[in-house]
Structure 1
Amino acid sequence: MKKIRYFAIQLFAVLTVSLLSFACGSSEQAENTNTTESTSMANETPKEEEDKSKRPSPPAKAEGKVDDVSIVIDYSQPATKGRTIFGDVVPYGEIWRTGANEATTITFDKDVLIEGQKLVAGTYSLFTIPNEKEWTIIFNKNPKLWGAFEYKQEEDALRVNVKPSKETDLTERFTIAVEEGGMITLKWENTKVTFKVTKA
């Protein structure tokens, strides 16, 4: 009887040790698996940057010179698509990003005069407030904005007011151009807005 009891105790001890060893091994294997997965994720090749040319409102660039001042404008081109734009899609009396996606930016490599008012060299976000009889052109000191969601008026460097005009031909995609005589032209649908740039 004593021998049977002794054998049972020995068997229980062996089974306990075996179970503990198995549990430790499984834990270590899981830890190694997690480490491998983490390392794999860390070494994973980042996704390629978005191809902005495939956006519904693709990027565009307008460049030109006024005297020896270089002007570069980066913007996006939304389409009319049969809609009424100003006063509807783009409400009157509200801040507009002047394009789509990221806020439009305009860069001057030298100090300029905008409609006779001085603006120092630099890169600005270009916002507008459209109205039927007058537009406000805004140069804001923060060029890294998405749309006008975080626009702050206190960061404006300059505001000027200009008169819009009506065109007979439809401009399907919003277009900005640097034209001769230092005129910056904004055109979309049947609306055209210009402001004059000269060297300071």
Structure 2
Amino acid sequence: MKFLKWTLITFAVLGLLFFFVISPYMKTQTKKNSPEKTVAYEKNGMDLSVTYSSPSKKDRIIFGELVPYDAVWRTGANEPTTFSTTNDIKIAGENLPAGTYSLWTRPSRQSWSIIFNKNIPDWGVSILSGGKETNRVPEEDVVEIEIPTEQTAETIENFTIDFDMQNQLYMLISWDRTLIKVPISK
């Protein structure tokens, strides 16, 4: 009985230590290498924002190696990227109700799946998987669309998400030599 009591106390102390000390320290350290950024678009009756962590290329091969093809990616680093809209919008013609969503992608060579999900986990990947598996809950997907990739003329060092109004509004996702243009409308 004493052994069980001390075992439970030890696990409780370790859990509290991880939750209050180790986890916040890890988040602070990882954001030094992949700073958190927020971009917003507030025009044409839309109020949108994206919060993400921006890793650097650092002479690495990004797509197909660091970010595997045909596997769901947290779309940035650290916590999952979040996408917020204060009103109902359309993503490539698909309805997305007002709210905040986690944004996931499944990169492939010719196109990417862009996934908006109702669940927003604390961290983008499972620690137990060594960072190879995401914490996405597929049953919570709201919108999933396929967007063709474009190649950029120059290498983009830092992972970037931005909004660009051309003949319509696009959310741009770019890194290395890859550009994804996600059409957004009311």
Paired residue for 1:96?
73
Is residue 137 of structure 1 aligned with residue 114 of structure 2?
yes
Cα 1:166–1:111 change in 2 (3 A) is same
Between 1:130-139 and 1:145-154, the stretch displaced more is: 145-154
Q: Which runs of 5+ in 2 are unaligned?
A: 1-19, 126-133
Is residue 163 of structure 1 aligned with residue 148 of structure 2?
yes
Instruction: Tell me the CA shift for residue 81 of structure 1.
Output: 0.3
Instruction: Tell me the CA shift for residue 65 of structure 1.
Output: 2.9
Task: Give the 3-state SS of the residue equivalent to 1:154 in structure 2.
Answer: helix
Q: Quick one: which amino acid aligns to residue 99 of structure 1?
A: G
Is residue 62 of structure 1 aligned with residue 39 of structure 2?
yes
Q: Which runs of 4+ in 1 moved over 3 A?
A: 49-54
Task: Give the 3-state SS of the residue equivalent to 2:33 in structure 1.
Answer: coil
Aligned residues between the structures: 153
Return the alpha-carbon distance in structure 1 between the equivalents of residues 147 and 98 of structure 2: 22
For the 8 Å contact 2:40–2:49, the answer to whether it is kept is: yes
1:116-136 Cα offsets, whole Å, 9 max, x none, are 110100000000000001100
Point out the structure with max Rg over C-alpha: 1
1:82-104 Cα offsets, whole Å, 9 max, x none, are 01100010000000000000000
In the TM superposition, 1:1-200 aligns within 5 A as 51=28, 55-148=32-125, 149-180=134-165, 181-199=168-186
Q: Quick one: which amino acid aligns to residue 160 of structure 1?
A: I
Cα 1:122–1:54 change in 2 (3 A) is closer
Query: What is the RMSD computed on CA atoms of the aligned residues?
Result: 1.7
Instruction: Tell me the CA shift for residue 150 of structure 1.
Output: 2.0
Q: TM-score, normalised by structure 2?
A: 0.77
For the 8 Å contact 1:78–1:99, the answer to whether it is kept is: yes
Paired residue for 1:29?
none
Task: Give the 3-state SS of the residue equivalent to 1:92 in structure 2.
Answer: coil
Q: Quick one: which amino acid aligns to residue 69 of structure 2?
A: Y
Return the alpha-carbon distance in structure 1 between the equivalents of residues 32 and 147 of structure 2: 31
Task: Give the 3-state SS of the residue equivalent to 1:143 in structure 2.
Answer: coil
Return the alpha-carbon distance in structure 1 between the equivalents of residues 84 and 52 of structure 2: 12
Q: TM-score, normalised by structure 1?
A: 0.72
For the 8 Å contact 2:55–2:76, the answer to whether it is kept is: yes
Q: Quick one: which amino acid aligns to residue 179 of structure 2?
A: K
For the 8 Å contact 1:112–1:119, the answer to whether it is kept is: yes
